[in-house]
Amino acid sequence: MGRCSGLRGAIRSRKVGAIPVRPWVRPAMSSSNVVTVASPSTASAHRPAPSDSPCRPGWPQGVGRNGRRQGGFTLMDMGIALAVIAILATVAIPSYRAHIQRSRLGEGVAALADRRALMEQYYLGNRTYVSGPCATSVTVGAFTLVCASTPTANAYTITATGSGTAAGAVYTVDHHGDARTTGLPTGWGTPPTGGYPCWITRKGDTC
C-alpha cells in the first residue's frame, strides 16, 4: 500500500514540476552488441557435413546416434542359431517319430482285441465262428485286420498287419485269446520262431 501511494505522489509532483524530467537518450551501440548476419553463400560454406553420413568421424560403424548398437545379425549369431536347430533336430525328431510309431502300434493291438470281442459275441449267438466278423477285412489306423484263414465252427485266428509307420509289425490273436507278435516294425530286429507270446509295442521289450 505504501509503495503505491509513493508512486502516486511522484506522479503528482511531476505534473506540478516538483521533479525535473530528464530527456531519454538512446544508448550508444558498441561492437560487442552488433549482431552479424551471414549471407546464404557464407553460411553454406561453413555448413557441417550431413549427420547421416555412414562414415562420419567419432561414430563407430553399427552404432546409432543414441549410442546403442543398431539391430542385425552377425555370422556368430547365425552360427549359434544353426547349432541350436541342429541339436533340437537330432534329439526331437527321432523322439517324435518313435512316439507316433508307438501310437500306431497301440491302435493296431486295440483294434485286434475289439475284433476278437466281436467274434466271441458272434459265437454266443450262432454257436459257430464260421462267417464271423473277421472274415471281412477292415483297416484301422495303420493296420489291416482279417482272419488268417477261414474260421471254422470252433477256431479262428485274426491277424493285424501294419503299414506306413507300423510297417513290418504283425500281431495275431486266436479263439483261445493267445496274443502273439510274429513281426516287428522295421529296425526292431527279428522275432524268434513262432513269434513272441505277447504283443510288443515298444522297441527292446520282451514278453
Asked whether 85 and 185 are in contact (CB, 8 A), the reply is: no
**pLDDT computed for residue 66 by the predictor:** 60
For residues 144 and 181, what is the distance between their CA atoms, to the nearest angstrom? 15
**pLDDT computed for residue 16 by the predictor:** 46
For residues 78 and 103, what is the distance between their CA atoms, to the nearest angstrom? 36
For residues 170 and 185, what is the distance between their CA atoms, to the nearest angstrom? 8
Q: Flag whether 120 is in a domain.
A: yes
Domain extent, residue 87, equals 76-183
**pLDDT computed for residue 161 by the predictor:** 97
pLDDT tens digits, 28-40: 555 555 555 545 5
Q: Report, as an integer, the average pLDDT of 77-94.
A: 86
CATH number of the domain to which 176 belongs: 3.30.700.10
Which residues, listed in sequence order, are joined to residue 147 by a DSSP beta bridge? 158
Strand order in the sheet with 157-162: 138-140, 143-147, 157-162, 170-174, 179-183
Lowest-confidence segment of 14-18, 81-85, 118-122 by average pLDDT:
14-18
Q: Flag whether 8 is in a domain.
A: no
Cell of 178: 493267445
Q: How many domains are contained in the chain? A: 1
Q: Report, as an integer, the average pLDDT of 173-185.
A: 95
Lowest-confidence segment of 44-48, 76-80, 81-85, 144-148 by average pLDDT:
44-48
pLDDT at 207 over 70: yes
**pLDDT computed for residue 94 by the predictor:** 83
Closest alpha carbon to 181 in 93, 86, 108, 124: 108
Closest alpha carbon to 180 in 148, 153, 151, 152: 148
Q: Flag whether 110 is in a domain.
A: yes
Q: Flag whether 83 is in a domain.
A: yes
Asked whether 157 and 173 are in contact (CB, 8 A), the reply is: yes
**pLDDT computed for residue 206 by the predictor:** 87
**pLDDT computed for residue 95 by the predictor:** 85
Q: What percent of the chain has pLDDT over 70?
A: 66
Q: Flag whether 113 is in a domain.
A: yes
Q: Flag whether 196 is in a domain.
A: no
Q: 37 or 158: whose pLDDT is higher?
A: 158
**pLDDT computed for residue 27 by the predictor:** 57
Which residue do the cell numbers 521533479 mark? 19
For residues 201 and 109, what is the distance between their CA atoms, to the nearest angstrom? 9
Q: Flag whether 43 is in a domain.
A: no
DSSP class per residue in 71-106? P---HHHHHHHHHHHHHHHHHHHHHHHHHHHHHHHH
Q: Flag whether 91 is in a domain.
A: yes
Q: What is the pTM of this model?
A: 0.59
Which residue do the cell numbers 561453413 mark? 46
pLDDT at 163 over 80: yes
CA 130 to chain centre: 54
